Amino acid sequence: MSFNLASYIDHTILKQTTTVAEVDKVCVEASMAGFVSVCIPPRYVAGAKKLLDGSKVKVATVIGFPLGYNATEVKVREIEEAIHMGADELDMVIDLCALKSGDWKHLTHELEACMAPVYQAGRILKVIVESGMLTDSELIACCQLYGKYEIDFMKTSTGFSGTGATIHAVRMMREFLPARIGIKASGGIRDYEFARQLIDAGANRLGCSSSMQLMKEFKVATGA
């Protein structure tokens, strides 16, 4: 196998009942395994940043999560607060109500407003489109809109809707997004075989809560 699975993984815990002890455990696991980042609730960013000090693991958090229909001003404030606490990467849910209503002007304004503090601070922005709730034409339209901007990643899913990452969605995103924009597949990635298929389809990052199990399977499959 020509790649290290750990270098794709955002080790994730975002359930509503997440405790500080669980976040600490995720941080230790990510540091030991060499994952790219931990993706955690905003309230835990400062503590995770301190715990991971000296490691290469980034701290990611979520914005407008998980439904996406927060006012743009609220999302901007969430971003500013997360950056202040030390977040390296921001995973932002788009306003799906606007998308389903055909209000692309609002989505454009939302993105431009949210991009400003992220890039002023030199951070990473991932735009979550909840691909499992979109038609193919809507997903293509998202690729066309967000592909015009200097976002870092488009992310398939929150993991809180009925459908998470799919091979089909990742392939479509890779086809219709510029090569400079990464793809994060997230939601329902519970075994190494599916993770490998998503990477083969074009995913550059994987959001996983079953990361340690995936690494065990990866090592068995590849002899790593």
CATH number at residue 178: 3.20.20.70
Buried b (16+ CB within 10 A) or exposed e, 195-216: bbbbbebbbbbbbbbbbbebbe
> Which two structure tokens, joined as six digits, stand for 127?
């735009």
The domain tally of the chain equals: 1
pTM for the whole structure: 0.97
Read off the pLDDT band of 1 (50, 70, 90): very low
**What would the mean pLDDT of 18-47 be, rounded to a whole number?**
98
- Per cent of the chain over pLDDT 90 is 97
Mean pLDDT (the chain) is 97
pLDDT score of 220 more than 60: yes
Query: Of 122, 190, 176, whose CA–CA distance to 146 is shortest?
Result: 176
- Of 58, 75, 126, 184, the active-site residue reads 184
- Of 91, 95, 126, 152, the active-site residue reads 91
Active site residue 184: yes
Q: Which domain holds residue 14?
A: 5-222
Read off the pLDDT band of 2 (50, 70, 90): low
